[in-house]
Amino acid sequence: MSGTLAEGGKTIVLNGVCMESGSGRAVAPASRVTGDDRRRIGEVRDYLRSRSDSDAVADALPVNAPLEMVEAVTANCAVDHVGCLVFCPDIQAVRSHLRDLGFRLARPSSGGLVRDRLAARYGVPETRLKSGCLDVKAIQAQFPDDMSRGVELFCVDPGDELDALALRDERVAQHENHLAVRLTDPALLEEVRVALGRPGGPRADGGGYDPGHGEIGATVLHFRADGRTELGWPRRLGVIASGRHTETLLRHFAAETAPREAEEEDRRLMRRLTGAWATQALRAMAELDLSDHLAERPLTCAELANLTGVDADRLHRLLRALCHPWIGALTPSGRAAFALTDLGRRLSRDAPNSMHHLARVYGDLFYTSFEALTEGIRDGAQPFTSVYGQAPFDYLTDHSHQRHLFTRAMAEGSAFFADVATVVDLSDAAIVADIGGGNGELLAQLCDTHPHLKCALLERPEVIGAARDNLDARGHLDRCTFFPGSFTDSAHMPVGADVYILARILHDWDDEKCLSILRAIRAAATTESTLLVIERPLSDDPSAPCVSALWDLNMLVNNVGGRERTRDEYRGLLGKAGFTVIGERPLRLDISVTVARVHETPESEILPG
């Protein structure tokens, strides 16, 4: 409840009603039309007094609108009013001010169309509208010496669902200012609509049937053009036709929707087509360590150029692109500085769940190999091998720098490891063996959660060192045994573990190799062993969207024979190798843990020859 004490404490204004102190009787309302609203009303009044019909229409249409378009409006219409929004809930105060200016007033009516536009513009929920908030009243007022022209004011309570930011935007931008013309012959509404819809004209911008216009109501079509008038108003034109013109109104709405949908479709396609630019911008951000430089505080371009040793102008162009919503890694901070967004912070080397190395690998090694995707599909060649001359793992073995980046990137891409211990019960397990366990991060996470576990890790000899260092740094080295070798050879496989884990291994290989890996584990396992297969399965419904479909394309390009598989396909491989699926546990980003147990069937019936 708001209150104002006036006239020596004798009159109090409560919620827009003036009450006499001590008596409780309502008295004439005190004017609450602010100086800013008085200025707005004065502007529209003076505008109407100083503009001819043709000048006013030219103001509302595009700057270079075809002459025949302007003539189509002015020949069939006359200026009816200029509208604006004022921020005063006291309708009587506004009407009193208009009378003081010499206007003749019509009865106030609902401003439902304006209310709906305000609600859409500032996100006022439909439920709040239904409860009666954001009430807008319209006041029509004519000049006494020219009843064909007037002003239309839309009155809204500035405290009614509009926050300070919305009010400031509305006051500055004056979105609701418009010129309205009235058709001399309402039957010509469709003709005028078509004329305004021609190339070079304004775009459709809403409208509706307003029962408050005249005795039979009126159909109003709104149009908007780019830019602003000399007074800073938006170029908006309303065309009024007496009566209800449903068919024309529906065509107007269709014309409004079609360009927006087409433009949105264009933007969606352009975002995808320029995705390569975003990838390279993020890679450059990682290569230049911008996230690390910005980790503590925002910096200017000049400061970042000094820290990175690059040209300031070129760097500024990168920083500006990284601020674009399609990338969203940076945000302006103040007039000249740049700050990290949460997304950009993930590219810092030391950030939790960092993707610094992933950005570099996806923007370099894998980016280049994807250039041969079309040839790989059309000609059956392996894209990575076509580009680099070697199969992926052979190439990484021979190129230590890329191998280091790849290993770090794969570790960053395994943030879901932390979730495994929470979705799988290992309380009864004594020994867990990670087959192809990389740098040992999954075992480290499991050891953090389960102090009783003993662990085994099988990996290629050149990777074992990184796993040993990681587990040593985490304080778990004394609980782990390392098995250098191939996971397709049962001779290298840890024997008798309670739980075997294959985390993102099977998708690297064709079916034959997968069966060799699974059978090697089956030969080393006991009848009580459990197998956990961690993969990103494709949906069994090919029409269902899933991240796995993109990773399957990546496997086609950057792997020889590897692929993502459906749950049924994994179940089939496990069954052939001697395992039965007993459950599944979901992880983030469409990854899941498939839980399998050894078949009870005698081994001789499962493992051929």
The catalytic residues are 507
Measured in degrees and rounded to the nearest 5, phi and psi for residue 258 equal -60, -50
Among residues 460, 502, 517, 455, which one has the least CA distance to residue 484?
A: 460
Rg, C-alpha atoms of the chain: 35
Q: What is the rounded distance in angstroms from the CA atom of residue 143 to the CA atom of residue 519?
A: 93
Q: Characterize the bridge pairing of strands 454-459 and 431-435.
A: parallel
Which residues have CB under 8 Å from 160's CB, separation 6+? 89, 133, 134, 135
Number of Cα atoms under 13 Å in the Cβ half of residue 513: 12
Spatial strand order of the sheet with 454-459 comes to 480-484, 454-459, 431-435, 499-503, 530-535, 592-598, 579-586
Q: What is the rounded distance in angstroms from the CA atom of residue 116 to the CA atom of residue 128?
A: 12
Token pair belonging to 476: 């778990």
Whole-angstrom CA distances from 234 to 68, 94, 155, 226, 496 are 22, 23, 19, 8, 77
The answer to whether 505 and 487 are in contact (CB under 8 A) is yes
CA 243 to chain centre: 42
Give the torsion through C-alpha atoms of 107, 113, 114, 120, to 10 deg.
160
Long-range contacts of 255-264 (CB under 8 A, 24+ apart): 255/193, 255/197, 255/204, 256/203, 256/204, 256/205, 256/206, 259/203, 259/204
Give the containing element (helix H, strand E) for 579: strand 579-586
Q: Give the position of tokens 């950030």.
A: 351
- Crossing angle of helices 53-60 and 67-74, in 10° steps, is 130
Give the containing element (helix H, strand E) for 3: strand 3-6
Q: What is the rounded distance in angstroms from the CA atom of residue 101 to the CA atom of residue 143?
A: 9
DSSP per-residue letters across 183-220? ESSGGGHHHHHHHHTSTTSPEEEEEEEETTSTTT-EEE
Burial 235-267 (b: 16+ CB within 10 A, else e): bbbbbbbbeebeebbebbeebbeeeeeeeeeee
Token pair belonging to 569: 């396909």
Positive or negative torsion for Cα 380, 384, 385, 387? positive
Q: Characterize the bridge pairing of strands 234-242 and 330-333.
A: unpaired
Strands in 376-471 per DSSP E: 431-435, 454-459
Residues of the chain by 3-state class (helix, strand, coil), percent to 5: 45, 20, 35
Token pair belonging to 506: 């099977």
Token pair belonging to 473: 């740094």
Polymer length of the chain:
609
Positive or negative torsion for Cα 186, 188, 191, 195? negative
